[in-house]
A and B are shown apart, each in its own frame.
Chain A
């Protein structure tokens, strides 16, 4: 597991420089702009989708077939991606919450609760890998890429429908006390599904 994680971190360092710059820009804009908090939502969503990107690179570079020759199980390979997602979601949550905090400080009157904001961000971020990883493990990266964009559209559609873009960074409409356990359960279920999908594939 440690070796797999190290591999993905090396790859992320090399391949995701542009993504890192985009996240940084979104966080800065999210912190500074009045009424455009969706910038930090975008940043947290992108951070949460890093394992999906890594999985796409793995497929393109025929890593799954090579991994079959190494002493790693399907469970190791799948769990590592979820762990990577957890790490990037946590990092994204910290940065986005910090950005939201600055936004609240710059715009008096905006109620800001760091724990609530962080909880909501963390849930949103994890949902990317919860929803997409099983699909990519099952269908591969091409269909996964299409779903990637559909998911983005869906999340923004939902966010727009609930008026989240115009709400305060604390997002009073969402409750992380319920969200975190729900997402945790979905995260575990998604892993089980992904392991099953991965085991059925032949490379």
Chain B
């Protein structure tokens, strides 16, 4: 079963258009949505949740329509930036508040997550750092038995250690095959660690959506002289950068003649050359 299916999702603003987006997130998997600022990541997640009204398109979450989900979000854990909580509230009070909002709120899970993430329970929200505010939002999203997490830039403001902890929590979460995560970020290295699927979004358009392992197997980085690169089918060259030593090109592995050595491509390299070539 797919945890999330998006077909032809379109939302047009005056100066931006999310253009007929198609995405599929199988259960038990993590899908990373990579894009620059303003690429449409937040709009996608908000449109999926019906927080912004899409112009057209179909969305199915956990087998239910967007409208059905909008009226019952118990199965979803959502982080859309910092939680909009009052500056006077502490994490301990948020625990009591959420207990009265979610029907399956797990106080013990919340306390455990707060401890794992080093989140102070009795400090007021206005006194928390941006990173700790994000941690609070993540802890809330993961403390009520959600099956699908929709996380928009959840690692913003987190230090590398905290980011690593959050990524580990997500991997742990998807060990249950009924669970799935859609996570957007422009910190590509985070997503590279945990994602099963990767989608590149650029100016509201989906550039690709593939299994991460397949992407890594399909593309490589070729370091060579400019004239050598010209021997390769131009369609197989995704993009390249020049240096005094020659060129570094991201290419499709199967178009490279045998015997040429290729370095593994990072998602960040692949994303950057794809965007530059778009």
* Interface, chain A (partner B; CB < 8 A): 1-7, 10-11, 14-15, 57-58, 61-73, 202-203
Contacts and interface: CB of A to CB of B under 8 A. Distances in A.
A61 B49 contact: no
B51 A202 contact: yes
Contact of B100 (A3, A11, A14): A3
- Chain B contact-residue range equals 20 to 34
A66 B80 CA distance: 8
Given A6-B100, A65-B51, 19 more contacts: A2-B100, A10-B86, A10-B88, A61-B85, A61-B86, A63-B86, A65-B84, A68-B49, A68-B51, A69-B49, A69-B51, A69-B79, A71-B72, A71-B74, A71-B101, A71-B102, A71-B103, A202-B51, A202-B52
A70 B73 CA distance: 6
A15 B87 CA distance: 10
Nearest to A15: B88
Contacts, number: 75
19 contacts: A3-B96, A3-B98, A3-B101, A4-B97, A57-B86, A58-B86, A65-B51, A66-B80, A66-B83, A66-B85, A69-B49, A69-B79, A70-B73, A70-B102, A71-B72, A71-B74, A72-B101, A202-B52, A202-B53
Most buried by A among B93, B99, B103: B93
Interface string B52-78: 110000000000000000011110101
B89 interface: yes
B78 A69 contact: yes
A7 B78 CA distance: 19
B100 A4 contact: yes
Q: Is the interface of A mostly helix, strand, loop or mixed?
A: helix
B85 A4 contact: no
Most chain A beta carbons < 10 A, residue from B49, B76, B79, B84: B84
A64 to B, nearest CB: 7
A1 B100 CA distance: 7
A6 B99 CA distance: 10
B101 A63 contact: no
B94 to A, nearest CB: 9
B107 to A, nearest CB: 13
Contacts of B52: 202
A14 B97 CA distance: 15
Nearest to B73: A71
A61 B49 CA distance: 21
A62 B85 CA distance: 7
Contacts of B88: 10-11, 14-15
Nearest 7 A/B pairs, CB to CB: A3-B100, A66-B84, A62-B84, A3-B101, A2-B100, A14-B88, A69-B78
Contacts of B99: 3
A69 B102 CA distance: 12
Contact of B89 (A2, A11, A203): A11
Contacts of B86: 7, 10-11, 14, 57-58, 61, 63
A65 B80 contact: yes
A67 B53 CA distance: 16
Nearest to B69: A71
A20 to B, nearest CB: 15
A10 B100 CA distance: 13
A202 B84 CA distance: 15
